[in-house]
Structure 1
Amino acid sequence: MHDVAPLERPDPSVDGPAGAMDAEPQLLPAGTREWQVRGDWTLMALRGRHTEFRQRIAHAASDSDGPVLWDLRALRRLDTAGALTLWQGWGGKPPARLLWQPEHVTLFAQFMQPEALAAPPQRQRPGLRNALPGLRALSAHAVDLLALVGRLLLDAGQLLRHPSRIGWREISANIYRTGAQALPITALVGFLVGLTLSYLISRQLKTYGADIFVVNILGLAVLRELGPLLAAIIVAGRSGSAMTAQIGVMRVTQELDALSVMGISHTVRLVAPKVMALALSLPLVALWTSALMLLGGVAAASAQLRLDPAQFLHTLPGVVEPVNLWLGWLKSVLFGGLIALLACHFGLRVKPNTESLGQSVTQSVVTAITMVIVVDAIFAVLFSDVGL
């Protein structure tokens, strides 16, 4: 505790003529174990004399038999440079006896809060210590995501018992935003990827005289793997980022706090409609993307191999088993729910500032795309003997 007394401010006329630009910084003895700080302790007034005053302050404190009383009430002006000079002269800690004005508290508070400023941080050796912050952040995300899934499951039970509480309009709006509005970009990208893939495959098959097998390779790759994966990546970058930004802006504008005050669950109002909508719309988007990829493949095969489009479409159902289509749909449902869940998770973790909003949107997109690829690889290993 510091001896801070709400005493009256001394007459400012003793500090120098009114209208002087910079009053001389002064450190004057005012009695036994008492020093008075007067004048302007600013960057300009102390220029070239910071070290001198730090040494004088440290010398005054060390020469006294007991705690020194420092009186700052006669200061005319004080800025961060002056406060830092006093702070360093005191040895990096507030003195036991101190008289100051209320406006001085803010200047010295910036030095009192971080205790690490008194000593420079030690450089850590590379190794496990450098990995600990990343592991802590990963575990925190895992715990929060697991808690979000738990709340979502509990709220899903209540929604099944009370279907009237389901936000059908919100689900419909999210299906339109994540599904219908994504059709143009997925059509363009799917057609071009199918065109390129079929062109490269046709060049290789033509060398060995196996032109007809382009239907087998392209149909299996598109319906089982590339169609759902490409649609999920596009939706994660387009719709997943939008979901994170929407919830993040609600955090910045304190709308999430308002929902909590009104007793409205975030998972019921925000998370559940987005997860349900994307889990329903992404399989349809994946089917649309696969169809456009096959259309691009037909165009390339027709131009490169002179393959009749009718023959391509007639051969496709016979060489690609229907289970591959259902497997692609199952993955799309899982991809949609996972993308929406991660987008809501990072949106709810946004702090009320714009910098955190941008970081969360970036993390949401990168994490969603990474997890989609990881889950797709797991499916490829688990179902390697199905439909092949």
Structure 2
Amino acid sequence: MSGSLVIATLTTARNSLKSWPQHGTDSTLDVSGITQLDTPGALFLSALRHLGVALTGVRSEHQTLFDLIDSLELKPLPAVAPVPRWRQMVTALGKSAHDARHEVLSLITFIGRVASWMVDAALHPSTLRPSSISRHVRETGMQALPIIGLMAVMIAIVIGYQGVAQLRQYGGEDLTINLVAVSVLREMGVLITSIMVAGRSGSAYTAEIGVMKTRDEVDALTVMGLEPMQMLVVPRVIALVLTLPVLSFFADIMGLIGGAAISQVLLHLSPTQYLSRLPQVVSLSDLMVGLFKAPVFAFCIAAIACMHGLRVTGSAESVGRETTRSVVKSIFLVLVLDALFSILFEKLKV
């Protein structure tokens, strides 16, 4: 055995001895090549010696450590009984519940801080940074129009095809227009838009702030007397709150266009006939329900994205991990809020 035998290399040393023949009275280990030896390494060699392995070539500076270990009354550690499987599962479940509770409280606290800074910005508009807000509006809004429009058209076509296939069995294929229009305006338009924005813009927010954390730029803002919440979080939240309703409205329009296309193909309705049917099946309240949810979703998506960006610790791995958590948490919260809104609007008969 040669090289360094310290606590950091014990695992490697043990693995190298696995292929060694079974220890016995004739086993000999040459340790003359060991250059560094600490107490854990000496304990490891002493344990081998007690198993019948003869150590040769022990250096004089290492022999003192062996003599000290031999003079001690060492007792083996008590055997630890294996933890039952059910206890491991209960422990893991409890830890998950504790972590979930901590995450919920952290999210509520951060959303409260963001809301407080938003109120402060409304009371003191001079603290806002229009250039930063306009940049984020352009990146999260205008540049997202093509992909959101395409997704809305595709979703409307899928709903239309599935609706016709099912309603035709009962002679009610004309109700496909009702299905597509109401679904797009009340639910699918804002929901698909929010999910796309969470994956596209939310991840960008987290990555941008996370990279600033790794470069100590956030700490530099604090040192200069600037508040990171005011400089980094508020502009992004305002930009997303402004753009998501517009994107949702655009998705509604594109979804209705997709419904017109599928109606012409499957129901043989001209665009004029389709447009004349729309006021009979949808109302302004259907449109407003979807647009009402958009700012709420936008606020939550932006707050979660910024929160996880500020949680980055300083490595590229941390940036990727927090970005993934941000997107997953944002989409999950959007779905939960959408379900709660559906129940609320049903109770209110909206």
Structure showing greater radius of gyration is: 1
Q: Residue by residue, what CA displacement relative to the aligned partner does 1:136-184 show, whole Å, maximum 9, x if unpaired?
A: 3223322322332232233234323321111211111111111111111
Q: Residue by residue, what CA displacement relative to the aligned partner does 1:229-257 show, whole Å, maximum 9, x if unpaired?
A: 01111111111111111111111111111
One-letter amino acid of the counterpart of residue 77, structure 1? T
Superposition map of 1:160-171 within 5 A: 160-171=122-133
Q: Residue by residue, what CA displacement relative to the aligned partner does 1:258-317 show, whole Å, maximum 9, x if unpaired?
A: 112112112111111111111111111111112111111111111111112111112212
Rounded to whole Å, the distance in 2 between the matches of 1:230 and 1:313 is 23
1:229 aligned to 191, 205, 210, which one?
Answer: 191
1:344 aligned to 268, 292, 306, which one?
Answer: 306
Q: 1:300 to 1:119 in 2, by over 3 A?
A: farther
1:289 corresponds in structure 2 to: 251
One-letter amino acid of the counterpart of residue 185, structure 1? I
Q: 1:87 to 1:267 in 2, by over 3 A?
A: farther
Higher relative contact order (CA 8 A, sep 6+): 2
2:41 corresponds in structure 1 to: 85
1:311 aligns with 2:269: no
Rounded to whole Å, the distance in 2 between the matches of 1:262 and 1:165 is 16
1:69 corresponds in structure 2 to: none
Rounded to whole Å, the distance in 2 between the matches of 1:118 and 1:86 is 21
Superposition map of 1:23-38 within 5 A: none
1:262 aligns with 2:224: yes
1:184 aligns with 2:146: yes
Structure 1 residue 121 displacement after superposition: 9.6
SS at match of 2:35: strand
Structure 1 residue 361 displacement after superposition: 0.9
1:328 aligns with 2:290: yes
1:152 aligned to 106, 114, 136, which one?
Answer: 114
Rounded to whole Å, the distance in 2 between the matches of 1:78 and 1:133 is 41
One-letter amino acid of the counterpart of residue 236, structure 2? K
What percentage of residue pairs aligned between the two structures are identical? Answer: 35
1:377 aligns with 2:339: yes
One-letter amino acid of the counterpart of residue 78, structure 1? Q
Rounded to whole Å, the distance in 1 between the matches of 2:79 and 2:138 is 57
Structure 1 residue 76 displacement after superposition: 7.2
Rounded to whole Å, the distance in 2 between the matches of 1:177 and 1:304 is 37
CA contact (8 A) 1:199 1:301 kept: no
Rounded to whole Å, the distance in 1 between the matches of 2:34 and 2:280 is 92
Rounded to whole Å, the distance in 2 between the matches of 1:308 and 1:218 is 16
SS at match of 1:383: helix
Q: Residue by residue, what CA displacement relative to the aligned partner does 1:205-247 show, whole Å, maximum 9, x if unpaired?
A: 3333334322222111110011100111111111111111111
Rounded to whole Å, the distance in 2 between the matches of 1:43 and 1:234 is 51
One-letter amino acid of the counterpart of residue 35, structure 2? R
Unaligned runs of 5+ in 2: 6-11, 25-32, 48-60, 62-76
Aligned length: 307
One-letter amino acid of the counterpart of residue 209, structure 1? G
Return the TM-score normalized by structure 1. Answer: 0.70
Q: Which has the higher helix share?
A: 2
SS at match of 1:264: coil
| Alpha-carbon RMSD | 3.4
SS at match of 1:77: strand
SS at match of 2:103: helix
1:279 aligned to 229, 241, 248, which one?
Answer: 241
1:241 aligned to 190, 203, 215, which one?
Answer: 203
1:361 corresponds in structure 2 to: 323
Q: 1:314 to 1:351 in 2, by over 3 A?
A: same
Q: Residue by residue, what CA displacement relative to the aligned partner does 1:43-67 show, whole Å, maximum 9, x if unpaired?
A: 69x9769x89xxxxxxxxxxxxxxx
1:172 corresponds in structure 2 to: 134
